[in-house]
Structure 1
Amino acid sequence: MPDEQRQRILVLCDESGMGLGGVPVFNEQISMALAARGHDVTLLTVKQVQGGHEGVTLRTVQPAPENIEGRHWLEQQVTTQHPTAFGLPDPREQSFDLIIGHSRFSGPAAVAIRDTWYTEARVTHFLHTSPERLPGFKYPNNPARAAEKAARDSSIEQVIMNRADVVVGVGPLLTEEARKLASTNPQVPTSHELVPGTAIEPLVQRAQQQNGPLQLLALGRADDALKGFEDAAQAVKLLNDRGVAVHLTIRGVPDAKVPDLQQRFSQLGGGNVTVLSFSTERDAIRNDIRRADAVIMPSKHEGFGLVATEALGHGVPVLVNEDSGAARFLQDANRIAPELGIPCVVPEPADPSLRVAKWATAVHQMKEQLPERIAQASQLREILKSYSWEHAATSLVQASVTAPAPATGASAAQQAHATVQGPEGTVLLSGSPPGIPPTQRGTATTVTLTVNQTIQVTQQMTQSTQASQPTGPHPQPPIAKAAALTSRGRRGTATTAQGTGSNHQGSASQARPQIPQPPKPQGPSH
């Protein structure tokens, strides 16, 4: 582990692994990458992990009652049960250096377990979706519901960010969102732009292109309107009606819904769409990608879009929606040559009724330029070798360990530290204040941070033992604990939580002031 010190890392996620959604897949990959870098990684979940997660120590809380969401139960458990009940170390004997939470799904639990038990640890908080924008896409015909959910979810993220030491955006788009949300808090932590890793697979070898249909592949939930598959199917029909042979395969349908969705997409696509059931088999997905001429991601909005980089890891051409983190990454001239990245991005029309036509045009161009696009995808695959999951893990640890204390005061948003992930996991200082979109900030300064630049401790923790183990028969609403915490259990202050025997090298953050609790969620939050 050159230039890295072994860190004790606790990752919290309500569930983790292939086939459970974007956040669980991301969590598995980054956890394994951290372990592969030599760090001591423990993962605490609600649902039992099924396979994978090589090198990661797995722990679970008590099973959640049927009427309680996993993320709420996780927060309740880590604040009312002693960590040893889950197989975690006794805080009086050993702490963690870093605790990682994922958005509102496990972020509240991450800050809660740090403030209650492992008070010397730093908290790194991931933002995986845009809480302000996503509801508008999910509920386009119900503005009131969209506005209520946006306000609620944004408040949850802001409360967590006010308690975190570092906020991490998954890709450029979400980093912009994270900086914007964090900038409204009394204390603004360091922000870091992380690039999700790409697994580099054997390069797809193709014979000379024949006159058959262009084979497109889309991966994701076909019953989720946000994914834009209906627009893609209609674009396929439009092209075939014009004599341009194109076929679309959609992988991502629950078994019970396959017949109905096959019928619907066959109608939308003029019989040129095949719907396949969801698969948790990695080899099945790899084979789908390798058989495709191109992989498309027609989502109306996507925080990042791991599908795009996964396909490029095989050297398979992609088309992605403009309103996505993957598009921002591919259009970043500091990372990727414009002639390689820009052709992958489908512009988002101001008039949604023109979306089908835009995608039809992009797919037609892909078919006409396929040999050139394949060559470009091969070059993109070479570039992405510098953005593996292990590179992402390296940048994550370095950015977290070297982060200074959160900025405070009237100009906190302008003074807050901001970094971005460069090639090979380097950490570069961002050249502009939070809130500036990555496409406008200019080239990041070429200052590489190392773990040896850890911040000096400004205060020493006053250790004391906890009088009694907390109890609570009923789970509290989301972030109730996180929002209510003031200086309790926080390093640099007198604490009622159990002290640790760790001499952590990170900066000692000041006690974080209480901020208002967000509205109580009503019903499912998905």
Structure 2
Amino acid sequence: MPDEQRQKILVLCDESGMGKGGVPVFNQQISVALAAQGHDVTLLTVKPVESEHDGVTLRTTAPLPDHVEGRDWLKQQCATRNPAELGLPDPRQQQFDLIIGHSRFSGPAAVAMRDAWYPEARVAHFLHTSPERLPQVKYADNPAKAAEKGSEHSGIERVVMARVDLVVGVGPLLTDEAKRLAAKNERVPSAHELVPGTRIEPLVQRNPQQQEGPLQLLALGRAGDPLKGFEDAARAVKLLNDQGVAVHLTVRGAPEHLVPGLQQQLSDLSGGHVTLRPFSDKPDAIANDIRNADAVVMPSKHEGFGLVATEALGHGVPVLVNEESGAARFLKDANRVPAELSASSVVPEPANPAHRVKAWAAAIHQLKEQLPQRVEQAGRLREFLKSYSWENAATALAEAASTAPVPGTGPTAAQQARATVQGPQGTVVQTSQSATQSPGSPAQGPQSPLAKAAALTSRGRSGTGGAAQGGGSGTQGPAQQRSAPAARPQVPQPPKPQGGGPSR
């Protein structure tokens, strides 16, 4: 990378790495990808990093006191500790070009660090979950608590968004949510849609036409968390086996000490057709789970994106994902993914939650009957997703952050804000700002409960809206040219997958 394009980037996250949850895994991947692209990346965490972060300079705060949340401690350290005490550059001698924060977990720390020490830096704020919809699903039996949590979390997000230069949604669903939240402020930043990277692994070779034994399904995530929907999947597996359709589900995701109790619960629900395995921070263990599965399922009741889906497709393994997820929105975006390859991967969310088990049982049964075709489609999706690597995501993020115009203020700020999406190979494509589209505009993508509840549609995603003009605040990033408005790229047709991968 030429020196003039190299950015000095500070990433803030309370913890980072495999086996620690979705945000830490995402943080590791995007930090390493930014470094791989040639940027000078420093990661500041509260808990020491245990996994490899190639090319990233690692720093930690002072030890976390007892009974203090990591996110609160990170903000306090960023606002009050001299950066030199944290192993960061002296602000009088060297500034950061970009500071990255993750939702309410480290977004407040990112703006505190910028305001206190590095005023010339731009701030990019990632949104990883819907702060209002998530509590509605999580506390479905307690509407008052859901409303309280939704108000609290969305309030934090809006306060941070009013002070940043760019909001970044992880996938299309959360980008629309970020725009909606940011548009409620007087000062509205630009928005960028990032597609989590797919790491392409050797293609799993199999002969599904000669399969013996039960259909082997895999689910990855926190067992015992009702949000993940594993109980529904277990009930669906029991329903199918009771009907003579042999299916087995393996769930990877529980602390060692909780495995026996959770295993019993899932066994009771499934009629003994579920195996629970403990969490693992070993990438090889997860990859082996995926390679040995006929399909990976993501039955979450709500998922901001769902890295599980693209991780499985990187191996050429078929997936089933819930409609109310960013992964589903991405796969069903006909401007990006050929519809004939992805439509069958999305499980519709029934209007009546009581019908959810039957919906998943039907989708699993159909997958079993169509397994040869679904394996072929997954292999072609794997080829297509090579254009959406973590390195591509990092390239587009760096460009979007360095070229975002100064956030506008006042009643027309939302209309002036620029919106971009990540195209193939890390291209940055400008679109219209969907948060301010008038009612009745045509929408793309499925109308999930989230879209209906929070107006999270894809309106305006194929247009070419005008960007607010003007330079950035403080020191400009290395990419000085504003991205010209452009139409969404045409969907390339992926080639047939080639052989040569490992056999099962």
Residue 345, structure 1, aligned to residue 346, structure 2: yes
Post-superposition shift, 1:503?
A: 7.1
2:402 counterpart residue number: 401
What are the within-5 Å matches in structure 2 for residues 2-151 of structure 1?
A: 5-151=5-151
Question: Partner of 1:89: helix, strand, or coil?
Answer: coil
Question: Aligned partner of 1:441: which letter?
Answer: G
Alignment partners' CA distance in 2, 1:8 and 1:116: 18
Question: Partner of 2:11: helix, strand, or coil?
Answer: strand
Decide whether aligned partners of structure 1 residues 198 and 118 sit closer, same or farther in structure 2, where only a CA change above 3 A counts. same
Question: Aligned partner of 1:321: which letter?
Answer: N
Alignment partners' CA distance in 2, 1:454 and 1:4: 22
Query: Which is higher, the Rg of structure 1 or of structure 2?
Result: 1
Decide whether aligned partners of structure 1 residues 505 and 289 sit closer, same or farther in structure 2, where only a CA change above 3 A counts. closer
Post-superposition shift, 1:97?
A: 0.2
Q: Which has the higher contact order (CA 8 A, sep 6+)?
A: 1
Is the Cα contact below 8 Å between 1:98 and 1:124 reproduced in 2?
yes
- Choose from 443, 450, 454 the match for 2:462: 443
Question: Partner of 2:162: helix, strand, or coil?
Answer: helix
Alignment partners' CA distance in 2, 1:34 and 1:261: 38
1:195 counterpart residue number: 195
RMSD: 2.0
What are the within-5 Å matches in structure 2 for residues 462-481 of structure 1?
A: none
Is the Cα contact below 8 Å between 1:428 and 1:446 reproduced in 2?
no
Q: For 1:305-343, what per-residue CA distance to the aligned partner results, in whole angstroms no more than 9, with x for missing partners?
A: 000000000000000000000000000000011111110
Post-superposition shift, 1:441?
A: 2.5
Alignment partners' CA distance in 2, 1:409 and 1:177: 20
Post-superposition shift, 1:410?
A: 1.2
1:297 counterpart residue number: 298
Post-superposition shift, 1:209?
A: 3.0
Alignment partners' CA distance in 1, 2:469 and 2:183: 24
Is the Cα contact below 8 Å between 2:215 and 2:247 reproduced in 1?
yes
Residue 263, structure 1, aligned to residue 264, structure 2: yes
1:249 counterpart residue number: 250
Does 407-416 or 272-281 show the bigger shift? 407-416
Question: Partner of 1:443: helix, strand, or coil?
Answer: coil
Question: Partner of 2:210: helix, strand, or coil?
Answer: coil
Is the Cα contact below 8 Å between 2:405 and 2:472 reproduced in 1?
no
Alignment partners' CA distance in 2, 1:440 and 1:408: 23
Q: For 1:259-311, what per-residue CA distance to the aligned partner results, in whole angstroms no more than 9, with x for missing partners?
A: 11111111111111111111111100000000000000000000000000000
Alignment partners' CA distance in 1, 2:212 and 2:12: 50
Post-superposition shift, 1:144?
A: 1.0
Question: Aligned partner of 1:275: which letter?
Answer: L
Is the Cα contact below 8 Å between 2:423 and 2:429 reproduced in 1?
yes
Question: Partner of 1:239: helix, strand, or coil?
Answer: helix
Question: Partner of 1:9: helix, strand, or coil?
Answer: strand
Question: Aligned partner of 1:431: which letter?
Answer: S
Decide whether aligned partners of structure 1 residues 332 and 247 sit closer, same or farther in structure 2, where only a CA change above 3 A counts. same
Alignment partners' CA distance in 2, 1:183 and 1:368: 46
Alignment partners' CA distance in 2, 1:414 and 1:456: 18
Q: For 1:187-227, what per-residue CA distance to the aligned partner results, in whole angstroms no more than 9, with x for missing partners?
A: 10000000000100000001343241100000001110000
Question: Aligned partner of 2:330: which letter?
Answer: F
Question: Partner of 1:43: helix, strand, or coil?
Answer: strand
Q: Which runs of 4+ in 1 moved over 6 A?
A: none
Is the Cα contact below 8 Å between 1:176 and 1:438 reproduced in 2?
yes
Question: Aligned partner of 1:82: which letter?
Answer: N
TM superposition score normalised by structure 2: 0.88
Decide whether aligned partners of structure 1 residues 122 and 406 sit closer, same or farther in structure 2, where only a CA change above 3 A counts. same
Question: Partner of 1:101: helix, strand, or coil?
Answer: strand
Is the Cα contact below 8 Å between 2:132 and 2:150 reproduced in 1?
yes
Is the Cα contact below 8 Å between 2:5 and 2:478 reproduced in 1?
no
Is the Cα contact below 8 Å between 2:8 and 2:96 reproduced in 1?
yes
1:283 counterpart residue number: 284
Residue 309, structure 1, aligned to residue 315, structure 2: no
Question: Aligned partner of 1:250: which letter?
Answer: V
Post-superposition shift, 1:415?
A: 1.7
TM superposition score normalised by structure 1: 0.85
Percent same amino acid among aligned pairs? 67
Alignment partners' CA distance in 2, 1:225 and 1:410: 40
Q: For 1:423-478, what per-residue CA distance to the aligned partner results, in whole angstroms no more than 9, with x for missing partners?
A: 0000000134435556333525499x9xxx995467xxxxxxxxxxxxxxxxxxxx
Decide whether aligned partners of structure 1 residues 104 and 432 sit closer, same or farther in structure 2, where only a CA change above 3 A counts. closer
Q: Which consecutive residues of structure 1, in runs of 5 or more, have no partner in the other structure?
A: 459-490, 492-501, 508-526
Alignment partners' CA distance in 1, 2:350 and 2:172: 21
Is the Cα contact below 8 Å between 2:417 and 2:433 reproduced in 1?
no
Is the Cα contact below 8 Å between 1:416 and 1:433 reproduced in 2?
no
Does 198-207 or 427-436 show the bigger shift? 427-436
